[in-house]
Amino acid sequence: MTIKVGDRIPSAKLMHVTADGAREVTTEEIFGGKTVVLFAVPGAFTPTCSIKHLPGFLEHLDALKAKGVDTVACMAVNDQFVMEAWAKSQNAIDKIMFLADGSGLFTKALGLEFDLTARGLGIRAQRFAMIVKDGVVTYLGVEEPGGFEVSKAEAVLAAL
């Protein structure tokens, strides 16, 4: 079942990538008592993700924080080493919280997985963005395949 507005974020563990390396973090630590924007990409280093999605959130980071967002987090079904390299290549490490869902377990718990096995990419996250307040989803924008409208930073800003 796909998560929806009003649902609580499921309990899971992810790898949080920082300039000092990666450490395991729980969803309770990420979302508890905070307003968090979580956006997910099908893969680090992929074209739309690297050219539009992540750069948009970097560009609007101050505006998001001015609207009460405590954390902006980017997640992908990639391992922490790929996420670290991508964060560094985008000059975004420690500006945005990078979360590696290496096995896709959190993505599956959200019901937002996307099977790209036929294209050699395996199971990935759909492109989406959500606003989560104290663990409860208040906005969810899931893109149609190939779309880039409801999950971009401007759409999230408008929803805040």
pLDDT recorded at residue 154: 97
Supply the residues annotated as catalytic: 49
Report the pLDDT value the prediction gives residue 87, as an integer from 0 to 100: 95
Nearest one of 81, 82, 126 to 106, comparing CA atoms? 126
- Regions in the chain scoring below 50 on pLDDT: none
pTM above 0.85, yes or no: yes
Return the pLDDT at 130: 98
pLDDT of residue 115: 81
Res 117: pLDDT: 75
Write down the pLDDT at residue 116.
81
Closest CA to 40 of 82, 94, 78: 78
pLDDT of residue 47: 77
Span between the terminal Cα atoms of the chain, in Å: 25
Structural domains in the chain, sorted by start: 13-159 (3.40.30.10)
pLDDT confidence of residue 143: 95
